[in-house]
Amino acid sequence: MTRRRRAPRSVLLVATVAMIFLALPLVGLLQRMPWTNLGHLLGDQAILDSLRVSLLISVIAASLVLVLGTPLAWVLGRVRLPLRRLVRSLVLLPMVLPPVVGGTALLFALGRRGLIGQWLERWFDLTLPFTMAGAVVAATFVALPFYVVTVEGALRTTRDEHEQLAATLGAGPLVVLRRVTIPRVLPAMGAGLALAWARALGEFGATITFAGNLPGRTRTLPLATFQALESDPEAALALSLVLLAVSLAVLVPTRDRWLPTR
């Protein structure tokens, strides 16, 4: 049994400053919150429209993340690809890429004159920029890595004896995946999906660049918050509280997958 070491006072001091630095903005936000007028602010039709748009976009994006991300995570976690490191780096790139750059890249790839967008419009009469579908694409682009990384990590650390046993008993690859693999990584899938949904709900830069800020169509909660800062700071505070509550609701049940436990 190891004994806990006492941290030097200088380290404790710096750590305390860091914690205060992280907590102070939240304290300031809650301190300025118009609690007495909160119900009226959140009942405003413009805010309700932004909430509806955000929920619709984030739920569709999360569904796409689940459909696209699960096979991708399985390939990265279980298949020995010759270019697996390159593929993994490509998957991780949206996590570190500035969202505005991601939106710009989507615009030049899927815009009306983009690499693929021009053919989508010509063949299918489909235009993505500055539409709700475009907002879904932007949200999916930034949220997908959070799900893939979480599920891939679970697949890489989960032993495959049960999968081998099921295969020797005659189960096909799809049956093994559906009956054995997925149930064992289901908690990681839930955690990853929650993180991806929260990331899609809070997306700003890629959305405003690729899909714009159109009321009732692409104006999500983050965009409405930014818009309200100029004209109605109390509404911006109320919207910030909603997003903060969502972040906490996602963090609390999933924190054990990201933080070490004793």
Alpha-carbon gap, residue 241 to 239, rounded angstroms: 5
Q: How many CB atoms neighbour CB 191 within 10 A?
A: 22
Instruction: Say which CATH number the domain at 68 has.
Output: 1.10.3720.10
Would you call 198 exposed, middle or buried from its count of C-beta atoms within 10 A (0-12, 13-18, 19+)? buried
Q: Do 41 and 238 contact (CB within 8 A), yes or no? A: yes
Q: Is residue 228 part of a domain?
A: yes
Alpha-carbon gap, residue 210 to 62, rounded angstroms: 18
Confidence (pLDDT) at 3 = 58
- One-letter amino acid of 188: A
Q: Is residue 10 part of a domain?
A: no
Q: Is residue 225 part of a domain?
A: yes
Q: Is residue 232 part of a domain?
A: yes
Confidence (pLDDT) at 72 = 93
User: Which residue range is the domain that position 214 belongs to?
Assistant: 37-98+128-256
Of the candidates 138, 144, 61, 148, the one whose C-alpha atom is nearest the C-alpha of residue 105 is 138
Q: Do 203 and 9 contact (CB within 8 A), yes or no? A: no
Model-level pTM?
0.86
Q: Is residue 77 part of a domain?
A: yes
Q: How many independent structural domains does the chain possess?
A: 1
Q: What is the dihedral of CA 242, 48, 224, 21, to 10 degrees?
A: -10
Confidence (pLDDT) at 249 = 84
Alpha-carbon gap, residue 55 to 1, rounded angstroms: 49
Confidence (pLDDT) at 124 = 87
Q: How many CB atoms neighbour CB 236 within 10 A?
A: 18
Confidence (pLDDT) at 231 = 86
Q: Is residue 92 part of a domain?
A: yes
Confidence (pLDDT) at 184 = 83
Query: Which tokens is 181 given?
Result: 């693999």
Q: Is residue 251 part of a domain?
A: yes
pLDDT tens, per residue, the chain with 262 residues: 455 667 788 889 999 999 999 999 999 999 999 998 888 888 888 889 999 999 999 999 999 999 999 999 988 888 887 887 888 899 999 999 999 999 999 999 998 888 898 888 888 888 899 999 999 999 999 999 999 999 998 888 876 666 666 666 667 677 777 777 788 888 899 999 999 999 999 999 999 999 999 999 999 999 999 999 888 899 999 999 999 988 888 887 776 655 545 5
Q: Is residue 119 part of a domain?
A: no
